[in-house]
Every structure is written in C-alpha cells, then in structure tokens.
Chains A and B, each alone.
Chain A
C-alpha cells in the first residue's frame, strides 16, 4: 500500500485527469488501476460504493467521484486535492487551445489520431467489468441484474439514476425480508 498524502493524491488524480480522453466514464478504469490496484487506497467494494454514490448525485460524475474518494481518504483537504488534480489538466489544455490553437478543430491529423484513440478507450472501459465482477458479488443467480440495467440504459435510454433508484428500493425490500426471515444472513451481522 502506498501511504496517502495530499501531494500524492493530487499527482495521482492529475495523471488520471490527463488521460481521461473522451469523457467521465474513461476515468473509471484509470481510477481503478491507480487508486485500487497500485496505491491500494480503496478496496474494490469501496470503489464501487463511491462510484454509485457519485453517479446518483448531481454535478459532473468524474468530479463527484474524485471528491468522494478524496474525502474518504483525507477529509476536506483530500477532496480538494483530488478535485483540483482532476480539473487542472482540463484547464491547462483548454486554455492552451483557446489562446494558441483556435484552428485545432478540423485539423486532419488531430482527427485521424482521435479516430485511432476512441476504439482503444472503449476497450479500456470494458476492463473493470471483468476485474470487479467478483467483488461485486455477481453469481449465476443475479447476473441478470447488470445485464438488464446495461440494456435499459444503452438501448432504451433510461437514465442511470433510475437504475440506481430501483436498486436502492430493491435493497430496502431485501433488508426487511432478510430481517423477517433470516437473521443469520451475512449482510445482517454487525461487523465486530
């Protein structure tokens, strides 16, 4: 485990922000790699829990995710370090373009490079699905849950928020059912 420091957190998220090309979800594989695998600041379960919280609150998902991880690791200062690290590459790149390269858009070479990058970035996002499925507790009995939710969002354009709301409702129902019928279920035990 890499010891947590504000500077290290800032550096890690600066690197993550710098390679998030193509939008917030691209951050997911990078955060998993840097924060969970390399630095071991979070377990896979904590990573998923913070991700679902960041998705369900308003604002830019990537920023929410950085803020919630930072807060978990280092309180308010930690959240500021991670958030500033995430947005600084954006500010630097956008201002450089705004000041010096107004004509970047429509540049043939840049367009070609991005036509190569986009399929690779898609492959990147597929990774965590496989790394996390065991920690997510996916079995043959509940594998329909991720499949149905992915199809709802992808094919029917349902907002992820509704999937999360349905999940919370399902979780509450499950809690009361377990409480009534099965006091011995692992979820029902207090952690000593």
Chain B
C-alpha cells in the first residue's frame, strides 16, 4: 500500500532529518530511490532541480514532488498523485509539530530561569554566525559563476548582489521587488548575451 509506505517514509525523514535542506535531500534519495525504488535516479535528480527553483523550503518541495511521482509511478491517477504529495508533505511536518511543541512548552515555562537566559545569551551571537554561514555557502561558483571561465556572469552576479544589498538595507526597497527585478535583469542580460 503505497500511501501507508509514503506516510512511514516521510515521517521517518521528518524525524531523523537533521542538518538542513541538502542533508534531507540525501536522506530522501536513500529512502525513495535506493530502498523503495519508487523512481529512477534521473527522475529524482529532476525533482531536486525543480525543488531548488520553486518557492518554498527545498525539503518540503522535494517531499511534495516525490509524493506525487511515487503514487503516479505506482500506476494511480494524477488525482491520487496530488493526494500523495499532500500526504508526503504533512508526514514530514508531523514529527516537527510534536517535537517543536514539546520543546516550546518547556522553554516557555523556564524562559525566566537564569540558566536558560544565560544559555540563550551565549547562543544569540552564534545565531549571527549561522546566518552568515548560510549566506557564505550560497556565494559559490554554481550561483555566482567563475571569475575566469564565466567572467560576465561573475561580474553581473557580484553587481546584482551588492546592489540588492544596498537597495534592501539602505534604500529600504521591498525585497520581493528586488528579487523580481534581479530575475528580469538575469532573463534579459543572459538571454541576449551569448554566454
């Protein structure tokens, strides 16, 4: 029964998935391609690519897409596939709900205890480090291009990154507007330049 298996698989992924988006992708790949053989490697690669380009957290996007594909590949209709995608998504969320609510309750109860406050006062500067590492990891060749091999892309990427930063933080432009404009610039420049 594909639906029960989907539920168990994604509940497990939600429960043991530690370490963010790409770590969860490798966990999903292991379960879905290697263990259950619900789809081929190349189908899964396509799913990861689409999950990275569509809005939403990558882990949730992948769960949604895998749920649909697994059910359709098992010979069911597209409507059942949609049910599969909703099921996979909420199975991933279920362990998060339970764990987060337990931990939140505990913290809300002891939030004024000096020990809890001291621990959080040490953790807060580290949060800034975590955010910085997320930004630094995105500043890679895949996203910015290579200064030697794809010089034009690299320069345009640096300009877009710097302009966006100033626009959002100094000129207080809405970030959504900045994303839309950057997308248009990318589409126009890369569409007309032969690179």
Contacts and interface: CB of A to CB of B under 8 A. Distances in A.
Interface of A: 17-25, 27-30, 33, 45, 48-49, 51-55, 57-64, 67-68, 71-72, 76, 79-80, 83, 86-87, 89-91, 93-95, 97-99, 104-105, 108-133, 135-138, 142-143, 145-150, 153-154, 159-161, 163-164, 167-168, 170-172, 174-175, 178-179, 187-191
23 contacts: A17-B55, A53-B104, A63-B92, A68-B104, A87-B56, A94-B51, A97-B50, A98-B81, A104-B53, A109-B191, A112-B186, A115-B190, A119-B161, A120-B182, A122-B138, A125-B134, A127-B168, A132-B131, A135-B124, A137-B125, A149-B133, A171-B118, A188-B118
A116 B53 CA distance: 12
Contacts, number: 366
Given A59-B92, A120-B160, A190-B112, A148 B129 contact: yes
B99 A49 contact: no
Given A117-B182, A174-B118, A49 B164 contact: no
B97 A67 contact: yes
A56 B136 CA distance: 20
Contact of A123 (B50, B92, B121, B162): B162
A174 to B, nearest CB: 5
Given A54-B100, A68-B103, A79-B100, 12 more contacts: A27-B57, A116-B189, A117-B186, A119-B158, A120-B161, A122-B135, A126-B135, A132-B128, A164-B126, A168-B123, A171-B120, A179-B114
Contacts of A99: 78
A116 B184 contact: yes
Smallest CB-CB A-B distances: 4 pairs:
A116-B186, A90-B56, A171-B119, A149-B129
A98 B77 CA distance: 13
B179 A120 contact: yes
A146 B126 contact: yes
Contact of B60 (A54, A60, A138, A168): A60
B115 to A, nearest CB: 5
Contact of A55 (B46, B49, B130): B130
| Interface SS majority for chain A | helix
A105 B131 contact: no
Interface in B140-195: 143-145, 153, 156-158, 160-162, 164-165, 168-169, 175-176, 178-179, 182-187, 189-191
Contact of A72 (B64, B78, B95, B104): B104
A63 B63 CA distance: 13
| Interface SS majority for chain B | helix
Contact of A59 (B17, B123, B176, B189): B17
B39 interface: no
A131 B175 CA distance: 15
Interface of B: 14-21, 24, 46, 49-61, 64-65, 68-69, 78, 81-82, 85-86, 89, 92-93, 95-97, 99-101, 103-104, 107-108, 112, 114-115, 117-139, 143-145, 153, 156-158, 160-162, 164-165, 168-169, 175-176, 178-179, 182-187, 189-191
A63 B96 contact: yes
B55 A89 contact: yes
Contacts of B133: 149-150, 153-154, 160
Contact of A116 (B118, B169, B187): B187
Contact of A175 (B20, B81, B114, B185): B114
Contacts of B179: 19, 21, 117, 120-121, 124
Contacts of A87: 56, 60, 64, 89, 93
B58 A163 contact: no
